[in-house]
């Protein structure tokens, strides 16, 4: 079924191997071996990304910019079709793009050591830093209001009115807990009117599997640029906290395993600061801890909203999947908040 797609990219080898790859919830990804080389093929989820060409546009823009200004950065440029386009579209199959698989590179699904957290944070920090002179207005918005917490909160309130009544009733405890943390939304409203919070080129999906490492565990580069858009640094740093602090992921059903590891927190701050220290304003530096609350709270809300709306967005493998994911993220939020006094001062304590 993918044959015509592979052919469009010039992969005609009859011995090619195609296997499902990675664990993303939105796009479908395959690893392809053909013509003696390895590639990553991805089909864009068109329900989530209404304008897949905008993704291709942004990636090409950034590729050109880095080539001209930072030629040593190992940016993974997409492979073009015979027609010269980096996005292939077929009415039957949808939108696809192909990347070379970087030889000798490794991706990880879980952060095992503070050193890995440091490397990843440095990679995302470096990426934003290298692009800080690129005019952000040139970038297209691939998902409007993606990390707009005010909007996410409104969508949650709408789900409470129009969602699945039975699910709403069964979720009372989680709903009340989310509402009780609405001060996190108020802080976001304040940030939006604060000129010392800068819009920068932001990755918006900084989980560990979006960093490539070499065999010595050094970060090589970041991947998955679908949600590359103007944004606040709290999105990137916050999503690292959401996904690196705990030894278990959002999928864990045994909430007693959820933890906030202080040494991993410090590693994220150090790694990101190493690159971005000179770019961040003082106000931003004081919002590191808030970044974690912001992203974990938003993800808890997105999972619960989707559960109340009968799982229209996130793939649910069992009926209460999104309910459990939301509960998991709320526990993580509470564990983070419990360490507020200890962690909020970390940037000053480190330098």
Residues within the interface to ligand GN1 (CB under 6 A):
24-26, 48, 143, 205, 227, 250, 299
CA 54, distance to chain mean position in Å, is 17
Measured from the CB of residue 57, what is the shortest distance to ligand GN1 in angstroms? 17
The one of Mg ion, ligand GN1, none whose footprint includes residue 299, by CB under 5 to 8 A per kind, is ligand GN1
Q: Which of 87, 82, 164, 122 is nearest to 275 (CA)?
A: 122
Q: Which is nearer to ligand GN1, 8 or 224 (CB)?
A: 224
Measured from the CB of residue 339, what is the shortest distance to Mg ion in angstroms? 28
Q: Which is nearer to Mg ion, 205 or 250 (CB)?
A: 205
Using CA atoms, how far residue 218 sits from 31, 62, 236, in Å, is 23, 23, 19
The one of Mg ion, ligand GN1, none whose footprint includes residue 48, by CB under 5 to 8 A per kind, is ligand GN1
**Could you tell me whether strands 37-43 and 28-34 are parallel, antiparallel, or unpaired per DSSP bridges?**
antiparallel
Kindly write down the DSSP assignment for every residue of 85-108, as one continuous string: -SSEEETTTEEEEEEEPPTT-B--
Rounded Cα distance between 293 and 289, Å, is 7
Q: Which is nearer to ligand GN1, 30 or 65 (CB)?
A: 30
Q: Which of 277, 182, 293 is nearest to 245 (CA)?
A: 293
Q: Which is nearer to ligand GN1, 143 or 344 (CB)?
A: 143
Among 224, 236, 250, 284, binds Mg ion (CB under 5 A): 224
250 binds Mg ion (CB under 5 A): no
Collect contacts of 169-178 with beta carbons under 8 A, ≥24 apart. Answer: 170/323, 171/304, 171/307, 171/308, 171/323, 174/304, 174/323, 174/326, 174/327, 174/330, 175/304, 177/330, 178/297, 178/300, 178/301, 178/304, 178/330
DSSP state of 200: E
Number of helices (H), then strands (E), in the chain: 14, 9
How many chain residues touch Mg ion (CB under 5 A)?
A: 2
Measured from the CB of residue 82, what is the shortest distance to Mg ion in angstroms? 28
205 binds Mg ion (CB under 5 A): yes
The one of Mg ion, ligand GN1, none whose footprint includes residue 287, by CB under 5 to 8 A per kind, is none
The one of ligand GN1, Mg ion, none whose footprint includes residue 236, by CB under 5 to 8 A per kind, is none
Q: Which is nearer to ligand GN1, 6 or 208 (CB)?
A: 208
Measured from the CB of residue 321, what is the shortest distance to ligand GN1 in angstroms? 12
Measured from the CB of residue 54, what is the shortest distance to ligand GN1 in angstroms? 13
Q: Which residues bind Mg ion (CB under 5 A)?
A: 205, 224
């Amino acid at each position: 079924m993918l044959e015509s797609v592979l052919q469009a990219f010039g992969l005609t080898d009859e011995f090619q191997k195609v296997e499902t790859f990675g664990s993303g919830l939105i796009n479908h990804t395959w690893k392809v071996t053909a013509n003696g080389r390895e590639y990553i093929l991805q089909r864009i989820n068109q329900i989530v990304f209404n304008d897949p060409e905008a993704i291709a546009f942004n990636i090409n823009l950034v590729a050109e910019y880095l080539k001209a200004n930072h030629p040593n950065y190992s940016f993974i440029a997409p492979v073009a079709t015979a027609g010269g386009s980096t996005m292939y579209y077929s009415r039957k199959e949808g939108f696809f793009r192909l990347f070379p698989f970087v030889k000798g590179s490794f991706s990880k699904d879980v952060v095992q050591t503070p050193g890995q957290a440091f490397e990843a944070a440095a990679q995302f920090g470096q990426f934003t830093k290298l692009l800080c002179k690129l005019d952000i207005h040139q970038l297209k918005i691939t998902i409007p209001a993606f990390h707009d917490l005010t909007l996410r909160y409104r969508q949650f309130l709408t789900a409470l009115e129009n969602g699945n009544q039975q699910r709403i009733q069964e979720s009372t405890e989680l709903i009340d807990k989310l509402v009780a943390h609405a001060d996190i939304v108020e802080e976001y409203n304040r940030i939006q009117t604060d000129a010392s919070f800068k819009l920068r080129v932001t990755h918006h999906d900084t989980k560990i599997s979006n960093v490539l490492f070499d065999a010595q565990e050094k970060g090589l580069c970041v991947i998955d640029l679908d949600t590359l858009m103007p944004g606040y640094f709290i999105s990137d740093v916050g999503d690292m906290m959401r996904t690196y602090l705990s030894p278990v992921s959002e999928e864990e059903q045994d909430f007693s395993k959820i933890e906030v590891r202080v040494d991993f927190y410090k590693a994220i701050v150090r790694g990101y600061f190493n690159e971005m220290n000179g770019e961040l304003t003082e106000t931003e530096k004081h919002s590191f801890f808030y970044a974690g609350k912001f992203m974990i709270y938003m993800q808890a809300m997105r999972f619960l909203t989707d559960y109340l709306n009968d799982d229209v967005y996130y793939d649910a493998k069992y009926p209460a999947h999104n309910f459990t994911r939301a509960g998991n993220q709320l526990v993580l939020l509470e564990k983070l908040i419990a360490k507020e006094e200890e962690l909020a001062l970390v940037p000053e304590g480190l330098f």
